[in-house]
Chain A
């Protein structure tokens, strides 16, 4: 099983990224961070630490006030996928049409898109649900559709904004496992925003802990546990030790003095 390479080429470097909104809130200050190809990188932190802001800046949905996004690989416009906290599906369209949407907006016909859509639906275990409407699906299944939609353009980089936060624990564990499997097979890069220590440790090879007021990068942690990670890993002492380590850093970030704030 290939492991993420700590010496892999950088995909994107955030250099001193800051964002101040027009109401005066500094959501993110001087964030510097390297995303390497093949990373499963989690942004972990309390609310208000700017993790979602950072993700939206990477996606191009927000323009940074300061700093630069240094793309080290030229990514085509197809190469960034986004998965929101809510499934965010079109309620009037069935599962197939929802997954087809990103391709459809690029002018790909239904017939041309069909193989890619069907393959992804199979990968997220939704074969046979092509014609189901979103309201007929459970929360977990809706999130699977959302993930399939995020991956249908075969992006090099998948951005996920607390995608499993609203799901029950059993469903979340299952989706964690399936997401890891997909990631290992397809070798895309993931930036995953979460406020769950346990989720970030289980999924990622790198955790960037962020602090709030103002939002900033606090400390980076490597998660030295081999993939594949499965249910056995979830109950292993290694996992517990890593969680404790990450928790300590997170507590440090939460208690970090906000004194750094300059006028």
Chain B
């Protein structure tokens, strides 16, 4: 603790002292509690397996899942890479498509009014219901999966970015017009930066959805063989009653989802913080 943080001799009344204590506890609890509960749950899972003598093909013990994860690492991680490739490519396409369409929408109210219903139709129709059609029309396996995952992921980016591009201070638009700004300048210097927080919110949702989309697409595609992703490993393991591998694959998918969320949250935090604090941070 540095000298500045050293508590000075401030006399606190009971209420303030309690408030300070609660704030401190909450700060610690926010990190410690989830970890403790998670560990307890895993321990309980292990105990339930032992107490009830549950066979490993029904519910494997956590330790066994870990062993499988290590033993099957080559297989699982190569599958993970396949899934990740679809996930990131579709996220990339979702960003390009969502932002591109949003920009198109803001260029003209007419375009927005005409095309937005299509976006909503794509969003509300369950992807598993659309997939058989995609399966008929598209030959390439990767293209199939990408299209599927893209349909799931692009909507939050489109709708958030459209909202952001349209929620610009009217006075700022007037200011740009007064200064003879072109459409392009208005977009680049005003609408796009103003839409940034909305876009990043959409991106965080789309990140998770693109993974879900990729996994669901693999499931319904029933892909098998060398170049197949984690979903097909799960199906395969299910058929073979290989519960430990099923759990290991599930664990990898969850972990990937959490990592994607954390990375996107960090990106969002870094970009938005720059708006507010970076300039000062550089100076001091």
Contacts and interface: CB of A to CB of B under 8 A. Distances in A.
- From B172, B193, B279, name the one whose CB has the most chain A CB atoms within 10 angstroms: B279
A91 B174 CA distance: 16
B158 to A, nearest CB: 22
Interface string A113-142: 000000000000000000111011000000
**Chain B CB within 10 Å, residue with most, of A84, A105, A153:** A105
B172 A90 contact: yes
Interface residues of A, number: 25
B177 A61 contact: yes
Given A105-B179, A133-B275, A90 B282 contact: no
Interface residues of B, number: 25
A257 interface: no
A10 B181 CA distance: 29
Interface in B269-284: 274-277, 279-280, 282-283
Interface in B174-198: 174-181, 185, 189-190, 193-194, 196
A82 B175 contact: yes
A104 B189 contact: yes
Interface string A79-118: 0101010101011111000000110111000000000000
Contacts of B171: 84, 86, 88
B178 A61 contact: yes
Contacts of B189: 90, 101, 104-105
A168 to B, nearest CB: 22
Contacts of A153: 179
B67 interface: no
B26 interface: no
A122 B196 CA distance: 32
A59 interface: yes
27 contacts: A59-B178, A60-B178, A61-B177, A82-B175, A84-B174, A86-B169, A88-B169, A88-B171, A88-B172, A88-B175, A90-B190, A90-B193, A94-B279, A101-B175, A101-B179, A101-B189, A105-B179, A105-B181, A105-B185, A106-B180, A131-B283, A133-B275, A133-B276, A133-B277, A133-B280, A135-B276, A153-B179
